[in-house]
């Protein structure tokens, strides 16, 4: 029940009481007219005052109720406005969620494509690694073959130079022998063995030049334990794998002295270059 209804009920009650009072007053008036009339007047005045008070309170209550209704309507309007804003915000959020879902789906698809691309790149890298491994193995083989060919070229160069040197010395020996034969025919003398002839060791011998001096003598890293003996000859040559064009045949050397681990040698004739530590000596060059 509202406040207005309560007030109306209260007013009806008041009016009922007033009517009852009037009935009583009439009844009392018949019996105690004067006194009762005065009392009724007093009561009536009280009731009038009470009615004025109740009317004032009712007016105030109505005003308060109107204010509350107006406030409630304003609050309701604000709530409706907030609800509309919330609905708009909810719609915006829904749109944003939809866009995010579409973006997420697109990014997921792109991520899948990226994974496929990465796997493809990994396969390409693996193939490239296999190819690089094969190329490296082939390159290593080619380098080994190149080194072999270079060594063979160096050996061929040395062999050629040695053959040329031997050919030249044989030509010189033939010329000397022709001169000796001419002397024998003219003077009846006998030929003697030339001191400059070669006398290689019977077995294959190889060693290095340990050091040299200004007179041309050189110390070798091999001696009698390797099969060397005084008077034997060795071929002197130089190898330079880093610069094959610097490898060359130098000439022949003769053993002057030999102990167990080293020997002293001197050049036979004129060498093609000054000997130096690290040069090689051998009883023959590539089977020459």
- What are the pLDDT digits (tens) for 188-229? 433 333 445 789 998 889 999 999 998 889 999 999 999 999
φ, ψ of residue 231 to 5 degrees: the values are 95, -15
- What are the pLDDT digits (tens) for 40-83? 788 888 888 888 888 888 888 889 888 999 999 999 999 999 99
Q: Determine the pLDDT at residue 269.
A: 87
- For residue 15, pLDDT over 90 is answered with no
| Strand runs labelled E in 103-232 | 206-212, 218-220
How many whole angstroms separate alpha carbon 206 and alpha carbon 234?
A: 9
Pick from 221, 226, 165: nearest CA to 201:
226
Distances (CA, A) of 117 to 46, 114, 128, 170: 102, 5, 16, 76
CB 263 within 8 A of CB 223: yes
Q: How many CB atoms lie within 10 A of CB 235?
A: 23
Q: Determine the pLDDT at residue 189.
A: 39
Both tokens assigned to 20 = 């009852």
């Amino acid at each position: 029940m509202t406040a207005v209804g309560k007030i109306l009920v209260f007013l009806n009650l008041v009016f009922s009481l007033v009517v009852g009072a009037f009935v009583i007053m009439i009844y009392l008036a018949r019996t105690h007219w004067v006194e009762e009339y005065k009392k009724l007047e007093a009561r009536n005045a009280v009731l009038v005052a009470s009615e004025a008070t109740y009317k004032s309170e009712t007016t105030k209550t109505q005003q308060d109720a109107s204010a509350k209704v107006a406030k409630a309507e304003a609050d309701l309007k604000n709530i409706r406005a907030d609800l509309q804003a919330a609905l708009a915000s909810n719609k915006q959020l829904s749109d944003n969620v939809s866009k995010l879902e579409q973006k997420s789906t697109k990014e997921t698809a792109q991520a899948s494509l990226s994974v496929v691309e990465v796997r493809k790149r990994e396969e390409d890298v693996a193939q490239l690694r296999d190819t690089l491994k094969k190329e490296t193995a082939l390159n290593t083989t080619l380098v080994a073959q190149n080194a072999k060919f270079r060594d063979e070229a160096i050996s061929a160069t040395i062999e050629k130079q040695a053959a040329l040197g031997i050919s030249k010395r044989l030509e010189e020996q033939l010329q000397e022998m022709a001169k000796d034969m001419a002397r024998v025919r003219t003077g009846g003398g006998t030929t003697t063995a030339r001191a400059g002839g070669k006398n290689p060791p019977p077995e294959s011998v190889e060693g290095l030049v340990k050091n040299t001096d200004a007179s041309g003598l050189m110390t070798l890293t091999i001696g009698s334990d390797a099969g060397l003996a005084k008077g034997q000859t060795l071929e002197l040559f130089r190898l330079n794998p880093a610069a094959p064009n610097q490898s060359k045949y130098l000439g022949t050397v003769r053993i002057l002295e030999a102990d167990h681990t080293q020997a002293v040698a001197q050049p036979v004739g004129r060498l093609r270059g000054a000997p130096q530590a690290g040069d090689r000596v051998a009883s023959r060059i590539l089977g020459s």
